[in-house]
Each structure stands twice: as structure tokens, then as C-alpha cells.
Amino acid sequence: MSVSGSGGGGWDGGTKNGGRCAVGSAFGLLIGLLVSCANPQAPSGGPRDSTPPSVVQTRPVQDTVDVSTDVGALRVEFSEYVERSTLSQALSITPTFEQRPQFSWDGRAVEIQFPSALRDSTTYIFTFGTTLSDARGVSLETPITVAFSTGERINRGQIEGRVVNGPSGTTQQGVDVFAYALPPGASAVRPLPDAPSYRTQTGEGGRFSFDYMREGPYYVLALRDNNRNRQPDPQEPVAVPPRLSIRADSGAAAVPVPWLLARRDTTAPQLQQVRPVSRQRLRLRFDEPVRLGTRSPTAWAPRDSATGTPVAVRGVYNAPDRPNAIVVRTAPMPDARHALPLRRGAVVDTLGQPLRPDTARFRAAARADTLRTRFRGFVPTGLGQDSTGARPLLPGVQPGVRFNQAPDSAALREGVDVRDTTGAPQSVSFATDDGTTYRLRPDPPLSPGKVVDVRVAGDVFAQPDTTVRRRFRRVTGRVLGALAGRARVIDTTRAAEEGGEADADAPAARPSPIRADSARADSLAAPEDSLGTQRDATPPDSLLDGGPVAVDLTAVESSIPVAPRRLTTPPDSLFEFAELPEGRYRFRAYLDRNENGRWDGGQIQPYVPAEPVTWLREPLEARPRWTTELPVPLRIPVLVPEPARPDASPPDTSGSAGRGR
């Protein structure tokens, strides 16, 4: 926010050494006053302070023009005592000085002393960020901007926008936003300048505003600047602009598409350590959480470094409670040097980045392996019981078992079996992704209403001579419903010109429930396309229709636990999530431009925009035997490139421009 000031325009004076304290005759009083002047404290008592500081007045006054270049300081008076230690980091000055300014305090006022003369015909901007706090620790909710000009005019360019979390859509407060001036007609920002032309921060609702900019195009980047170096660093959440060039104009409307903040993982996982735990076990630690890309024994077989003899592998698994670790169980290894070649993609990180080829070198441990396979529990977890004691299984979900390590295949078949309610054994196959949790797939598959008992023999898995049982029942369509809708890609520029609503996450309208036919209650076939008449007749555009739409569904609450689901559909086509238990669900829809099956937050250099995305603000309720449709499509906003325009910018009053301090 900007401030209004009072007082003269070309003020150059002020107390250079801070306020003076009256000197008393008593030495103790003198010491007390000196301490009080050096470290002003807010008065104690009264209600808890929740009001952040504000600016009462400034000299030179806000928006003053023709300020003398000989002015040596800006004096800012706050509404209350400010925590002085927060000022230096919170303050940004545009254009920057070659040296840091000095601060001189006088009660609630600070004098920002300039280290050199001001430039002629230049707009100076002083921004106090949200890290500035009062003496009680209450920080600004929105940045404060003070500006004046040493020329006849003051810059009036504006850029307003909003920053939200890319995956969830939640607004992001206290995020740094940097604006880099672009040359006319620029099609890339490479390399990124060392310092931005302008800097601000997001306030309430994730909103930000640049004021007093030179009119023209800018590359605007949002950044969770954790190390405060005012540079995007690896692993710091970043939001690239919705289009490369954002123009600063006087009275410009807010950019209708939000900046999408996300942590970018462009590096492959790396092996950090290999630890021989015993003669028959290795633990490999990586620099980030990983999952197995392959469990093939040949892909994980160590070799004797001297003879090249491979060691038989008995199991590979993700270490329980250690997401960065993989454990390899082997036949006994001799006390000698070994090498384990790791092929590309043996593990992948959470975003699917594959491991690059590497080699783990180690000397086998001499100690014996004493870890025994133990049964840890049944899956899925969190299932309630019906009146018969059975746990409900949704369509496509299989019963399963979990162990502390990868079991031998013989022990798995000996110790785990599936029976029907008469006690007759059922044919079953086993499948696992992590090596410790196994899904059981009965043959034939469980039909709606079918009940089975999964039994685990404890004596096979180092437990008392007892059998542990759990009963599961496949649910029927009578307890399931569906959610349906349409996702439409919207050109926000055209929508604004036509007076349409371009808000990316407006509240959903009241849903339209349609009762399912009881004759097909167990099949829940796709409903008739009742939204067909709402199709947009606009011709396809590569920016608007460049890829399928991916729709993610997550449960807020449900009668039976539901894992996140995803489906893809052409833009403006009907989508349906079928076979959902009663509950409340959220949608996220995005344009999967690169068709990699996940949302991507874009790239700084070379510039790639984030994939356009929208969220359903309010959860939608699913009811048994009903298909609930959204009467209004999910609107995915796209900011198309700005058409070329002649450079009619007003004279530059940014000095040599606007590098943010």
C-alpha cells in the first residue's frame, strides 16, 4: 500500500545522531534514560496488540515531484515504535545506491540517510516489506510504499496480481515478487539479471501490487526467498508469470490469472551412502525420498570386485519409515570388496526423475543377519466394520498385507492365504510396489457383495503359533455414487473484454443431482451428457487446447477411505468419477500441455509457463446411487500473449533503472 505524508517537499535536515535524552542529576536516572532511548519499548499492559505499524508522515512527502538531488535523507514517521532490527531486511530501494544507506532513529521515526546524491529526473521508491514489525512483533500484512521524484513527473506504471500455491490453490502471503524490465519485443529472459528492477511482497489474499514503475514490459517472478539473497535458488518455491511479458501501465487492471507457487525439482536423485548392515543386507541412502523403479533381482545384484561373481538377491524394498532408503537382501556375501552397478531408473524420486547410472562400492560386513520377517498388519487401513465384521473394499481396491521387510516368495505363499466364507481356499496372486506391502488379487476377482477372509500364519513370520484373520467385503453399487462435470479452458483476455467472469476459483454453483436408474445401480454407467448444450463454439486455439485436461479428485471426508484419483479428458468434454462412497470431494483441473500425467509449475529459463489450473473452492457431495453434476464448468484460465504494440512509453524517470536493492 502507498502512504500520504505531510510537511515540506525538499527536506534535507533532521537529527543525525538520533533523539537526545534529558540529562538528570542522578547517575542512575541518566543510565536508565540512555538505555530507554537506545532501545525503545512499547508500553506494557492493556489488550494484546494485533495492529501492524503504519506510516504517519514522510519528508519528502509521498508523490512529491521536483525533489532536489541534494536531499540527503528520507524521514519516515511510524504510528508506533518499530522493531529496528527488522528494518534493514524489510527495506527495498529502487533504484539502488552503490552503498547501503544508514539509519538514524528518533523515537517512532527513522531517517534513511542516502550514501550519495540523488539522480536527476528519477522516481525513487522505498518499499517496506512484510518482515517489518512493531516492538511487539506484529508484522505488516501488506508492504508499504513511499515514492517521490527528482524530475517533473513521477512514474505511474502498475502491475497487480495474486500468488497462490500451485498444487492446492491456497493464497500465499509474505512471498517476494520481483519485476525485471524487458526490452521491447523480448521473447526470452536469458540470463536472469543479478537484481530485479522492482521488488514487493504479497499481502492478504496473496495479492501484490507494484506502483510507481516505468511503463513498459516486465518479467515478474514470485519467490519464497528463504535465504533472502533475492535470487531464485534450487528447492525454493517459485512462481513464473502466466505469460512472459506483463505490461506496467497507469491504472492497469489486475492480472486475471494467478502466479502458481511450487517447488521445482529438476535434479535426479543421487546416491549418498551405502551401508553394509550385515552379510546379507545393504542399505542405500539417497539425497531425497525415492521409490523403486524396478525390483528385478538382476538390477540390484552386487558383484565381487575381484572375481566379478554376482551375489544372488532375495529381496529389494523401500525401508519402512525411511523414505530416502532402499534395502537389498542378498545371499551371504564374503568379507570382500563389492560393487553394485545402479542402472538408470533403478529408483525415481517423487516427481518421477530417474536415478542416473551410478555404482555403489562397499566391503561386505562380517556380522550375521538376525532380522526376521514379521507381519505388520492388513491393508487398506482405516476401514470400519459392518455388522458381520467385514471391512468394505471399493471397486478396484484389493485386500493386502504388510511386512517389516521383503518376505521370501515361499514364505509369502505358505503364510498368507485367502478363503471364502465356507472355508474353501481361493486362488490368489501377489503384487507389490515397495517390496513390503502386498496386494492380494483373488482369481476370479471379487464381485460386488463377495466376502473373503485373509489369513496370516504367525509362525511363518516369527510370531506366536496363531493365525491372524481379517474379513473383507466388496461393496455394491447401492452404496456408491458419482460426480460429473466439465472443464473448460478460458481466454481471460476475451472474457474480460466481453464482460465475462474470469475468476479462476469462483465458488461452485449449486450442483444438479440426477438419480441413477436402480436397474443399473451396480454398474453406474456414464450418465447422459446433460452439459452438452454448454459447449463453447470458439474455434480451437493452440494455447487454449494444447493438451488434454487432467482432473484430480481428493476426498475431504468419506464413509470409506478413498485414494486420490485422476482422469484425463479433452477440453470441454464431460468427465465422471464413478463408484464413490458417500462423502465430500474436491476437484482440481489443469491443462496437461506436455501430457506427462502431472501438473507442472513451469520454468524460469528458458521461460515455460505453468500449466493453467483451477480448483473447486467448495467440496462437492457424493450420494449413494446418485450422479451429481456441476451445472457450471470448471474454468481453467489462460493468459494469452499480449499483441504487439508500438512503444509509446512516457519518458523514463527510473534513473538507470530500477535495480531493486
* pLDDT, tens digit (0-9, with 9 covering 90-100), for 614-651: 999 899 999 999 999 998 999 999 998 776 665 555 55
Cα separations in angstroms, 96 against 68, 87, 119, 146, 587: 18, 16, 11, 15, 45
Q: How far apart are CA 342 and CA 340, in angstroms?
A: 6
Residue 28 DSSP SS3 = helix
**pLDDT of 148 strictly over 60:** yes
Dihedral angle sign, alpha carbons of residues 239, 230, 209, 658: negative
How confident is the model over 537-562, as a mean pLDDT?
A: 78
More confident residue, 517 or 336: 336
Q: How do residues 445-489 score in pLDDT, each as one tens digit? A: 999 999 999 999 999 998 887 899 999 999 999 999 999 999 999
**pLDDT of 507 strictly over 50:** no
Q: How far apart are CA 14 and CA 111, in angstroms?
A: 8
pLDDT given at position 611: 96
Average pLDDT, the chain: 85
Amino acid at the residue 62: Q
Q: How far apart are CA 115 and CA 148, in angstroms?
A: 17
Q: How far apart are CA 315 and CA 405, in angstroms?
A: 8
pLDDT given at position 643: 66
Q: How far apart are CA 659 and CA 655, in angstroms?
A: 10
The model's confidence at residue 7, banded by pLDDT at 50, 70 and 90, is very low
Closest C-alpha among 436, 377, 428 to residue 407? 436
More confident residue, 194 or 365: 365
Cβ atoms of 179 and 159 within 8 Å: the answer is yes
**pLDDT of 32 strictly over 60:** no
Q: How far apart are CA 252 and CA 243, in angstroms?
A: 16
Closest C-alpha among 343, 363, 374, 354 to residue 282? 363
Strands 391-393 and 347-349: unpaired
**pLDDT of 11 strictly over 90:** no
pLDDT given at position 604: 92
Closest C-alpha among 69, 222, 208 to residue 148? 69
Residue with cell string 543421487: 270
Residue 39 DSSP SS3 = coil
Q: Which residues pair with 162 in a beta bridge?
A: 207
Residue with cell string 529502487: 94
Q: How far apart are CA 577 and CA 483, in angstroms?
A: 5
The model's confidence at residue 518, banded by pLDDT at 50, 70 and 90, is very low
Closest C-alpha among 11, 4, 67, 6 to residue 653? 67
| Architecture of the structural domain at 375-475 | Sandwich (2.60)
**pLDDT of 262 strictly over 50:** yes
Q: How far apart are CA 375 and CA 576, in angstroms?
A: 38
Cβ atoms of 572 and 535 within 8 Å: the answer is yes
pLDDT given at position 386: 87
Dihedral angle sign, alpha carbons of residues 593, 535, 168, 162: positive
pLDDT given at position 578: 97
Q: pTM of the entire structure?
A: 0.79
Q: How far apart are CA 260 and CA 545, in angstroms?
A: 20
pLDDT given at position 42: 53
Give me the residue spans of the domains in the chain. 1-154, 271-363, 375-475, 480-638
> DSSP letter at 142?
S
> DSSP letter at 376?
E
Cβ atoms of 584 and 620 within 8 Å: the answer is yes
Q: How do residues 197-228 score in pLDDT, each as one tens digit? A: 999 999 999 999 999 999 999 999 999 988 88
Domain 271-363 class, CATH top level: mainly beta
Do 271-363 and 1-154 have the same topology in CATH? Answer: yes
**pLDDT of 266 strictly over 90:** no
Q: How far apart are CA 132 and CA 82, in angstroms?
A: 8
Instruction: Locate all alpha helices (DSSP H) within 528-597, ordered by sequence.
Output: none
The length of the chain is: 661
Helices (runs of H) and strands (runs of E) counted in the chain: 4, 42
Q: How do residues 372-425 score in pLDDT, each as one tens digit? A: 999 999 999 999 998 889 999 999 999 999 999 999 999 999 999 999 999 999
Pick the CATH number of 1-154 from 3.40.220.10, 1.20.58.1000, 3.20.20.140, 2.60.40.3710: 2.60.40.3710
How confident is the model over 62-70, as a mean pLDDT?
A: 96
Q: How far apart are CA 590 and CA 547, in angstroms?
A: 10
**pLDDT of 658 strictly over 70:** no
